[in-house]
Chain A
Amino acid sequence: MSKPLSRVLATPQGVVLITVLVFALVLSIINPAFFSVATLIDLLRNSLVTGIFALGVMMVLASGGIDVSCTAIGAFAMYATMKIVLGVDIDLPIFAFFALSALIGAMLGLFNGLLIGILGLPTLIVTLGTLSLYRGVLLTFLGTTYITAVPREIIAFSRKVLVRMENAAGQMVSLPYSFLVLVGVAAVVAILINFTLFGRKIYAIGGSEEAAERIGIRIKRVKVMIYVLAGAIAGLAGMTHVTLSRMANPFDLVGMELNVIAAVVLGGARITGGYGTVTGTLLGVFVITMINTTLLMAGVPSYWQKVVIGGLIIVGTGLPIVIERLSRHRERISRSLSA
């Protein structure tokens, strides 16, 4: 294996990037209509909700935790927001919808954070529990009916587009304003984890909790903050979902969490903590979306999408580890030879 190639394959992002390129190439050979700006716009639009969720989950993973409850928080926040707004019956700007949804999400995230940070319970157990809890409370107390008569601010917002163009087949393709939510969340998360002390603390805790505590980081407080933030982001994802689908369905979103986590992991974050970047995560989301929606174009049956994603997770996260081990092994051998 040549040096540059092995270096690219040594990181999950590298594997993912190569997969994207190979995938796009194969698809465009099978179906030339694939290789176009219109396809790119569609893919971006389809990765919006997963992308927003993933950015929150990435922070949690970087801190050494895992959050499977994000989709339940998103569903709860968006449905509760719709109920409240329709209940009070006053005209609110679209911004208020998002703010309210984020606030509700933050409160649910706070509950996660308190259980995890203050009580020190395992993150997987807590979020598995709250995934079921939030969804149960939503369906039991808030309702099980679809809200199809959404406020006109939402319809108006969902009709606003950043880019609109015709694809080769003469169909309209558009990138909605909701794309800005993803851009905004990505920017905020990037600044937070790269340029603030809080961000460094996240990685420090993810790297080694004990070491972080010894250098004086107040772990409990940071952890609570992380889950509050992840909750707020999940709330934004939920509301974005409403603007895209123009209806609020309380059964939606839950079930996506494994896809979200798969995207984050493919993007280079490690389950063991300490790693994770915004660009990597977005790349991971893009790949997952691409596989989920475009295999159809290549005439691949639905079941195969699961096979491909599973394989990609194992190769994408496993290959870098194997390469790292091999190079360490080689190093050891050469060292003993020179000695």
Chain B
Amino acid sequence: MTFNFKKMALGAALGAALLGSAVAISNAQDAKHTIVTVVKLSGIAWFNRMEEGVKQYAADTGQNASQVGPASADAALQVQMIEDLIAKKVDAITVVPNSPEALEPVLAKALGQGIKVVGHEASSLKNVTYDVEAFDNAAYGEHLMEALAKAMGGEGEYAVFVGNLSAKTHNEWVDAAIAYQKAKYPKMKLVADKIESTEQQQVAYQKTKELLRTYPNLKGIQGSAGEDVVGAALAVEEAGLTGKVSIVGTSLVSVSGPYLESGEINMISFWDPAKAGIAMNKVAAMAIEGKEITDGMDLGVEGYNKVRLNGKVIYGQAWVDVTKDNMGEYKF
């Protein structure tokens, strides 16, 4: 599973734009900003969760913040929505784009009309005021490896999965993880090259079985796509190795819940779209009010307490770790 940074960024940008226009009408400090978040696709669990964040932000701050999204993950529909928002003269637009390239012209237009634009999952966007990313990919990869190393007791053989060998994000996670292991846990050993699951649970399952047979001493598996850990967990369960092989990786509770509960999966990580929604809106509001984001700043949102600024891109450390104990809190 690949989470889409882009869609979130669009939403953030819309929100920012809404904020911007409110300023123009009245005093910047006590004015209500209109911030609209445009997501990739409405109605799916991920963006429903983001909407909760946007609503919470509106309730907490009194800002006029809302979320919209097309019925299908279509860049053209997002362009239309943003055109509408520009016509309505919102203050800021926060956006999670389906395709950053496709949105550049319309976002440039928004910026040209004084609307602030904040992106999410779209660090490549050029026409934005800011872009908010939940985390830096390398740091996230190291975080996962730290968790795997803890579970394995810092030694033993492990293997890593990527959804596709060509998936940029997955490779960044895994490469950073392997480098981190080599530097910090020399007693751990990577047994095979990166293994490709093609984001399918059954492929991850079959390859895990192969791994277990080839490397009977295998003690750990790190997954990248949401299905990786689930397939690996099924293979471990069937092989009767529950508890002997540790599994950590990126996934969602709705996908890997049963195996977190039965103990094959030690920990899954993801980022909370609700928190990302709040962070985008906050950044948008600050942009409207003319405040600058600085390196090391605290956005006042969990996971975004000490952000790293790289150009226009704001990185948090907003990964969420879920184990058997706290899986009930996340219903997506």
Residues of chain A at the chain B interface (Cβ within 8 Å): 31, 33-34, 38-39, 42, 46, 49, 140, 144-146, 148-149, 167-174, 241, 244-247, 249, 251-252, 255, 292-294, 296-297, 299, 301-303
**CB nearest neighbor in A for B210:** A296
Nearest CB of A to B44, in Å: 7
Cβ contact within 8 Å between B216 and A249: no
B45 interfacial contact with A, CB 8 Å: yes
Q: Is B240 an interface residue (CB 8 A)?
A: yes
* Candidates A140, A249, A292; contact of B201 at CB < 8 Å: A249
Closest-CB distance, A88 to chain B (whole angstroms): 22
Interchain nearest-CB distance for A131 vs B (Å)? 17
Output the nearest chain B residue to A294 by Cβ-Cβ distance: B210
**B contact residues, total (Cβ < 8 Å):** 37
Cross-chain pair count, CB within 8 angstroms: 86
B102 sits at the interface (CB 8 A): no
CB-CB under 8 A for A252 and B257, given A33-B213, A171-B216, A172-B239? no
- Listed residue (B192, B199, B202, B234) with the most chain A CB atoms within 10 angstroms of its CB: B202
Q: Does B205 contact A (CB under 8 A)?
A: yes
Minimal Cβ-Cβ distance residue in A for B253: A148
Q: Does B151 contact A (CB under 8 A)?
A: no
B91 contacts the other chain (CB 8 A): no
Residues of chain B with a CB closer than 8 A to A42's CB: 209, 213
| B212: interface (CB < 8 Å) | yes
Known: A171-B241, A249-B201. Contact between A296 and B207, CB under 8 A?
yes
Given contacts A174-B238, A301-B193, contact A252 B202 (CB under 8 A): yes
Inter-subunit contact B227/A172 (CB<8 Å) = no
For B227, list chain A residues within 8 Å (CB).
249
Q: CB-CB contacts of B206-238 with A at 8 A, as 1s and 0s? A: 110111111010000000000100110010001
Contacts of A255 on B, CB cut-off 8 Å? 198, 200
- Give the residues in chain A near B206, CB-CB below 8 Å: 46, 292-293
A146 to B213, CA, bound (A): 29
Alpha-carbon distance between A144 and B42 when the two chains are bound, in angstroms? 12
Q: Are A299 and B192 in contact (CB under 8 A)?
A: yes
The yes or no answer to B196 lying at the interface (CB within 8 A) is yes
Question: Chain B nearest CB: distance from A154 CB in Å?
Answer: 12
Alpha-carbon distance A169/B218, docked complex (angstroms): 11
Of the candidates B202, B238, B258, the one whose C-beta lies within 8 Å of that of A148 is B258
> B64 → chain A, closest Cβ, in Å?
31
- A295 nearest CB neighbor, chain B only: B210
B234 touches A246 (CB 8 A): yes
- CB <8 Å contact, A245 and B201: yes
Interface string of B169-213 (1 = CB under 8 A from A): 000000000000000000000001111101111100111011111
